[in-house]
């Protein structure tokens, strides 16, 4: 079992940047699928980005492509989501997720992730 603890987020003006962190304990010793999701008020949860711990399965939703970057620091055992050029459309609760089934990680649905972070709010004001 993997315990995910998120940090980062907060409020920022449009055009600004934020970085979300997701610490995994323990960090998976075998290949895992990792992802970031978000849910805005009144909307369904949507996938933002995926990556597996071997560095493959890199996926970004069209709405964030070119602005967001998913990455991982194996030494620090942390998954990151760097978010640049933020707009009000990015306002949502953000969640990190992990699953031991790395096959099919690319753009995986939230229904197929086993472990979840507690969520962190990102609010972008225009």
Q: Which residue is listed with tokens 């709405």?
A: 63
Give CA torsion, residues 44, 99, 108, 103, to 10 deg.
Answer: -170
Confidence of residue 38 (pLDDT cuts 50, 70, 90): very high
Could you tell me the two tokens for 6?
């998120």
Q: What is the mean pLDDT of residues 52-69?
A: 95
Residues with Cβ within 8 Å of 44's Cβ and at least 6 positions away in sequence, in order, are: none
Q: Are strands 120-125 and 10-13 parallel, antiparallel or unpaired?
A: parallel
Could you tell me the two tokens for 86?
């933020």
Which helix (H) or strand (E) element contains residue 78?
A: strand 78-83
Look at residue 12 and tell me whether its pLDDT is greater than 90.
yes
Residues with Cβ within 8 Å of 47's Cβ and at least 6 positions away in sequence, in order, are: 35, 36, 37, 59, 61, 107, 108, 109, 110
* Average pLDDT along the chain: 96
Q: How far from 26 is each of 29, 108, 122, CA to CA, in Å?
A: 8, 22, 26
Confidence of residue 14 (pLDDT cuts 50, 70, 90): very high
Q: What is the mean pLDDT of residues 29-58?
A: 95
């Amino acid at each position: 079992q993997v315990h995910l603890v998120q940090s980062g987020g907060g409020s920022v003006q449009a055009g600004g940047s934020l970085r979300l962190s997701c610490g995994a304990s323990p960090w998976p010793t075998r290949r895992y699928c990792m992802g970031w999701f978000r849910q805005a008020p009144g909307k369904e949860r949507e996938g933002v980005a995926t990556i597996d711990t071997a560095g493959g399965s890199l996926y970004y939703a069209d709405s964030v492509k070119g602005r967001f970057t998913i990455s991982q620091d194996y030494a620090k055992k942390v998954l990151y989501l760097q978010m640049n050029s933020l707009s009000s459309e990015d306002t949502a609760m953000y969640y990190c997720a992990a699953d031991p089934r790395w096959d099919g990680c690319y753009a995986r649905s939230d229904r197929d992730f086993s472990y979840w972070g507690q969520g962190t709010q990102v609010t972008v004001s225009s």
